[in-house]
A = this chain, B = another copy of it.
Amino acid sequence: MSLEYAILVSLRERAGSGYELARRFDKSIGYFWAASHQQIYRSLKRMVEAGWIDCDEVAQDKRPDKKVYRVSEDGAAELARWIGEPATPSSTTRNDLSVKLRGASFGDTGSVIAELTRHRDMHAERLELYRTIAQRDFPDPAKLAGRELHQHLVLLGGIRVEEAFLAWCDESIEALESDRGGSG
């Protein structure tokens, strides 16, 4: 259900169409809450019905018409309420890499090392991306306040977690390799 709140945050930052929201969920807010265009269109429909957002149809030159959504007063109040609401006890964890590693002895250790390396590389890329965005958008982090501070902190959270994950991948690959070398 949080997707609707993520959409509210994004639309309060700037009004936009379903398509534009789908682009934003490919990056930016989407790094912390993934969503496909199908989900977004479905949610927008519900949110209009609930009166959280309003819609203006905008005709465009040489492009299809689009529906621009903006947050209503009710929607803004609902978002503020949700932000203040305590979270559910804990977000449920589902990490298939951990399951694979835990089951490594029931498969092939080499392919688990390969899998760890693949994840390592994907997360290294993600970390690079976060760092690039941070440097581009927030070159002087000490001076930030308000909305920019919040956005920077979110990005920093991504950076901190990716750093830890990467370090762990390296540590694990090394341990698995020396275990294989030492015992096989």
Give the interface of A toward B (CB within 8 A).
2, 5-6, 8-9, 12, 29, 31-34, 76, 79-84, 86-87, 89-108, 111-112, 114-115, 118-119, 122, 126, 145-147, 149-151, 153-154, 156-158, 160-161, 163-165, 167-168, 171-172, 175-176, 179, 182-183
Contacts and interface: CB of A to CB of B under 8 A. Distances in A.
A112 B118 CA distance: 36
In terms of DSSP, what is the predominant structure of the interface of chain A?
helix
B106 A79 contact: yes
A164 B89 CA distance: 20
Contacts of A12: 103, 106
A9 B182 contact: no
Within the oligomer, what is the number of copies of this chain? 2
B98 A79 contact: no
Contacts of A90: 122, 126
Contacts of A112: 83-84
A181 to B, nearest CB: 11
Nearest to A157: B168
Contacts of A102: 9, 29, 32, 150-151, 154
Contact of A103 (B9, B87, B91, B179): B9
A106 B93 CA distance: 28
Contacts of A93: 31-34
A32 B98 contact: yes
A96 B2 contact: yes
Nearest to A102: B154
